Chain A
Amino acid sequence: KQEVTQIPAALSVPEGENLVLNCSFTDSAIYNLQWFRQDPGKGLTSLLLIQSSQREQTSGRLNASLDKSSGRSTLYIAASQPGDSATYLCAVRNTGGFKTIFGAGTRLFVKA
């Protein structure tokens, strides 16, 4: 059974710092891994999607990597800003099924 873990559960950093959020999964048989952002009381906004054949994806100040063999993904945020404060969730879609498994998220607070 696929399990997705995100560490740390919460993170507070000063503005301008580069940071890394971690996601690990137990079953490497995945179609893709997706990173989302969730603001309080809102739905999820897709940030990056990495297909199983890819190693990384980049969008602006965000870079996500995927290492299937070790069951890990990282989301790198460069030059963090207070507007980056939100909860970040990763999710994996397994092969051989239709389900997407979500981690519990990392709550990020960027101090001005």
Chain B
Amino acid sequence: DGGITQSPKYLFRKEGQNVTLSCEQNLNHDAMYWYRQDPGQGLRLIYYSQIVNDFQKGDIAEGYSVSREKKESFPLTVTSAQKNPTAFYLCASSINQGAKGQPQHFGDGTRLSIL
């Protein structure tokens, strides 16, 4: 079945460590997104990519980095510069077709905690 796979489901980060969250999709979607979800808040956009080898900062990009070397993959690295990384991270994708809005499809998320 087509879908979005995020791994790992749970991740623990030590002080000063960089960690990478994986996101893979087999929906043949052009656009991919990373969101952060904190309790009681809406999703906030970290980074997005409309096409391979291109990505843009979202609203809260500081302390994060991404790459988009393949259409199906959009990994997110949480660097040591992100001082409050504990959150639920969601990856999404959508068809990127001109001006008409297309639905976003989500993975099951990765919960990141500080050790």
Residues of A within 8 A of B (CB): 4, 9, 31-32, 34, 36, 41-46, 49, 51-52, 89, 91, 93, 95, 98-105
Q: Within the assembled complex, what's the spacing in Å between the Cα atoms of A99 and B43?
A: 11
Interface pair B101/A93, CB less than 8 Å apart: yes
Secondary structure at chain A's binding surface: helix, strand, loop or mixed? strand
A-B pairs under 8 A by CB, number: 64
- Residues in chain A near residue B108, CB distance under 8 A: 42-43
Interface string of B90-115 (1 = CB under 8 A from A): 10100000011101111111010000
- In the assembled complex, the CB of A39 is this many whole angstroms from the nearest CB of chain B, namely 10
Where the two chains meet, the residues of B that have a C-beta atom closer than 8 Å to any C-beta of A are: 4, 6, 31, 33, 35, 40-45, 48, 50, 56, 58-59, 88, 90, 92, 99-101, 103-109, 111
Q: Are the C-beta atoms of B56 and A98 separated by less than 8 Å? A: yes
Q: Which chain A residue shows the least CB distance to B35?
A: A102
Q: Is the CB of A101 within 8 A of B104?
A: no
User: How far apart are the CA atoms of A49 and B104 in the complex, in Å?
Assistant: 10
A-chain residues with CB within 8 Å of residue B99 when the two chains form the complex: 31, 95
The CA of A98 and the CA of B107, in the complex, are separated in Å by 19
For B50, B103, B111, the residue with the greatest tally of chain A CB atoms inside 10 Å of its CB is B103
The contact sample of 9 A-B pairs, CB cut-off 8 A, is A4-B42, A32-B101, A43-B90, A49-B101, A51-B100, A52-B101, A100-B45, A102-B42, A104-B41
